[in-house]
Amino acid sequence: MITLICYFFSFLVEAIILWQYTSTLFVPKHRVRTRLFFLCALYLILFAISMLGHTWLNALLYLAANFIFLITMYYLKWHMALFHAAVLTAVMSMCELAVYSIIGRFAPHFFTEAARSHNIILFVVFSKMIFFTVIYTLIHFLREHKDVSQRHDKYALLLVFIPLTSVFVMLIFVAVGDACTLSPTLVLMITLSAVFLLFTNLLVFGINQYNLKKNMEFTEMQLLLQKEANAAEYYAMLLAQNENQSILIHDMKKHLQSIAILSDKKENDKIAAYIGQLMLSSDLKESARLCDHEMLNAILCRYKRRCEGSQISFHADIRHGTIDFIADNDLTSLFCNLLDNAVEAACGIPDAFIEVNTTRKANTPLSVISIVNSCRRNPFAGSQGNLSTTKPDKRRHGFGIKSIRKTVGSYHGDMQMYYNEDTLTFHMVITLKQQN
């Protein structure tokens, strides 16, 4: 019974290490729940087959299980999945051989009593501790090579001293157990201490990875907020330019009077210079009018020009007074993220279009914003109802949608998305509530 528990414990730790390795280095295809269920199923099969006691069969199945998990649950080519599965298998085997060698040197009588449950547990914990230490170090160097943007957390490598210290403590446990005759109570305490020591290491590194992930998300959100703040400043500048243009047009009568005076004096050179200055003025640049809301008009004009450059038909129908209650910074965040996603999806599609509409539900404080855009493929396909991305770096996406949800939530609104397979169009419908 003790041997069975030790085998189960061994496979549990190996599964945790594989989860840590894959979650840190690779981009997942499926949700956490799906990956966790598949990993548990694979390792339960490995545990059941290990009862047969065939060492080589266990090693080959361990390699196959890791390969299947990598190729099905993560965005990896088959040869890369096979490479990483082989690395994990080789490291695990070498760690167990190293433990045999170390224990044989410092505790020569250990293996003569290898059948004792105390020794079995110490061997399993010792070998998995070294396995975890090597894999954590490997994760650090592979991640640094894969993504230079994560080099800022290189000091996390110092955490490797925790499992190294634990390995040293484990070696002392083994040496004490080999040199002294211990009471059953003390043997139990040492065994439990070894098990708790291993789980403490796993917990510390799990918390560390969780904190790194949250810090990265926080940094990305801060960059997104900075981008939106810059966009708001840009659109404020456009509004100022439009105001200057209105002033210039208002003053055009005075400019014409000045030109008439110069004409009476036959000063043609000065007239040409005067007209040239007016023509070069940025205030005379053409400004489109898509809606009566100044900030939103500036945003829509910018994306209309962007769509024209990408051969995308752009149409906007913004009803009067439907979005006046939205603050300028929220308006910028909401519509810029919506239109960024729409333009990205519609680019490169023949006869692509984007339609933006805002309406007010009659006799309610609710405004409805709808965006329909061309989209060649279903963004929900293979992602369990979540939006997928076409961006090369799949880790760093989704912050635009998070920003949209945040803005919608601040106005007690609702957001719905769906894809129409018949028309190849993506639909986003947002309902916002005007506060009293």
Establish if 122 belongs to a structural domain. yes
Task: Determine the pLDDT at residue 400.
Answer: 77
Closest CA to 369 of 415, 420, 303: 415
The helix (H) or strand (E) run that includes residue 46 is: helix 32-50
Are 69 and 39 spatial neighbours (Cβ–Cβ below 8 Å)?
A: yes
Q: In one letter, which amino acid is 223?
A: L
pLDDT tens for the 436 residues of the chain, in order: 666 777 787 888 888 888 888 888 888 888 888 899 999 999 999 888 888 878 788 888 988 999 999 999 998 888 888 888 888 888 887 777 777 777 766 666 665 654 556 667 777 777 777 787 788 777 777 765 554 344 445 555 566 677 667 667 766 766 676 666 666 677 667 667 766 776 776 677 667 767 777 777 776 676 666 666 656 666 666 666 666 666 656 666 666 777 777 787 777 777 788 777 766 654 455 455 678 887 788 788 888 888 888 889 999 999 988 888 988 888 888 898 899 889 998 988 988 999 999 999 888 889 999 999 999 888 876 555 556 555 545 454 566 788 888 889 889 899 999 888 888 999 999 999 887 6
Number of folded domains in the chain? 3
Burial class (CB in 10 A: 0-12, 13-18, 19+), 418: exposed
Do 276 and 202 belong to one domain? Answer: no
Put simply, whether the predicted model's pTM sits higher than 0.85 gets the answer no
Give the CATH number of the domain where residue 326 resides: 3.30.565.10
CB 389 within 8 A of CB 349: no
pLDDT tens per residue, range 75-116: 888 888 888 888 888 888 777 777 777 776 666 666 565 455
Contact status, residue 88 vs residue 135, Cβ threshold 8 Å: yes
My answer on whether 341 and 373 are in the same domain is yes
Chain-centre distance for alpha carbon 348? 25
Residue 52 lies in a domain: yes
Cα distances (Å, whole numbers) of residue 341 to 229, 347, 371, 389: 18, 10, 10, 10
Check residue 378 and give its pLDDT. Answer: 84
Let me know whether 65 and 190 are in one domain.
yes
**Does residue 247 share a domain with residue 180?**
no
> How many angstroms separate the CA atoms of 209 and 206, rounded?
5
Tell me the C-alpha distance between 386 and 193, whole Å: 43
Task: Identify whether residues 264 and 304 lie together within a single domain.
Answer: no
Domain membership of residue 418 (yes or no) is yes
CB 429 within 8 A of CB 368: yes
Is the Cβ–Cβ distance between 64 and 76 less than 8 Å? no
Q: Cα dist. 426→30, 218, 354, 373 in Å?
A: 22, 29, 10, 5
Whether 257 and 318 map to the same domain: the answer is no
Q: Would you call 339 helix, strand, or coil by DSSP?
A: helix
* Final residue before a domain boundary, out of 188, 206, 224: 224
Q: Are residues 35 and 168 in the same domain?
A: yes
Within a domain: 53 = yes
Is there a domain that residue 49 lies in? Answer: yes
DSSP assignment of 99-158, as one string?
HHHHHHHH-TTTGGGTTSHHHHHHHHHHHHHHHHHHHHHHHHHHHHHH-GGGGGGGGGGG
Kindly report, residue by residue over 331-342, the tens digit of the pLDDT: 888 898 899 889
Verify that 48 and 106 share a domain, yes or no: yes
Task: Check: CB of residue 156 under 8 Å from CB of residue 42.
Answer: no
Tell me if 289 is assigned to some domain: no
> Nearest to residue 431, comparing CAs of 371, 366, 372?
366
Taking alpha carbons only, the member of 268, 249, 247 closest to residue 259 is 268
Q: Is residue 324 part of a domain?
A: yes
3-state secondary structure of 365: coil
Residues 50 and 133 in one domain: yes
Name the domain boundary from 193, 224, 255: 224
Residue 311 belongs to what domain range? 294-433
Indicate the residue type of 92: M
| Residues 14 and 116 occupy one common structural domain | yes
Residue 425 lies in a domain: yes
Within 10 Å of residue 70's Cβ, how many Cβ atoms? 23
Residues 303 and 395 in one domain: yes
User: Are 98 and 10 in a shared domain?
Assistant: yes
3-state secondary structure at position 23: helix
